[in-house]
Amino acid sequence: MTLEKILHSQGFGTRRQCAGLILAGYVTVRGELVEDPSAEFELEGLPFTVDGDGWIARSKLTLVMHKPAGHECSRKAVHHASVFELLPPPIRERGVQPIGRLDADTTGLLLLTDDGQLNHALISPRRHVPKIYEATLKHAADKSLCEQLRTGVLLHDDNETVRAEAARLLYDTLLELTISEGKYHQVKRMVAAAGNRVEALHRVQIGGLRLPDDLAPGGWREITATELAAARSSPGAS
């Protein structure tokens, strides 16, 4: 693929803009200055820089992020900042999307990708990919709350009983809940239906992938192959 097309595919502007960057001497490939937009390279894994910033070209890009509170999982955020504001322009421009949205006040593990098949595989209820949350409760609870959630509760304005795949108390006001569906405000509504209230919500795991320890709130990076395989897995709930 020509270097001009590679830059375009990686979110650096129109093909004409990318050609301009190359001709102006802003682009290096494997540490060498390249000023020919038509120079050809293999895209996947190609190391390059644009104006001194280093990148690795990917045909499909998946990111892992520690979503902070006060951010909406939308490009057109209404009441809060957007999680896309945490990403550099080229990544925003190439069209990554959240794999399942978190509420503005919910924190924790968020995956973003421009791989439509991966997105579908991780959010489809038929795949039963578990998501684990830690919910801070307003009222102290006991094991009966967990039993209700595992047995199933009827959500307000919903005709179907919804149950957790697993539920346990880490403390009397901290609940670990595993679900594989993605209903609107599901964890909060389930806890409310069981007679309590969620004061704070944090997602810690998708499939077999836990929120990496090296990511502070607002931090993000490209997912590793091992992490991606873990996210695709569906370990049995404990």
Active site residues: 103
Please name the residue that has the structure tokens 């057109």: 76
Query: In degrees to the nearest 10, what's the CA dihedral of 111, 116, 118, 123?
Result: 70
Distance from C-alpha of 188 to C-alpha of 106, rounded to nearest angstrom: 10
For the stretch 21-25, contacts whose Cβ atoms lie closer than 8 Å and that sit 24 or more positions apart, written own/partner, are 21/50, 21/51
Give the Å distances, CA to CA, from 56 to 71, 170, 188.
Answer: 27, 40, 39
Asked whether the beta carbons of 219 and 208 are under 8 A apart, the reply is no
Residue type, 187: V
Give dist(CA 132, CA 150) in Å, integer.
14
d(CA 105, CA 201): 8
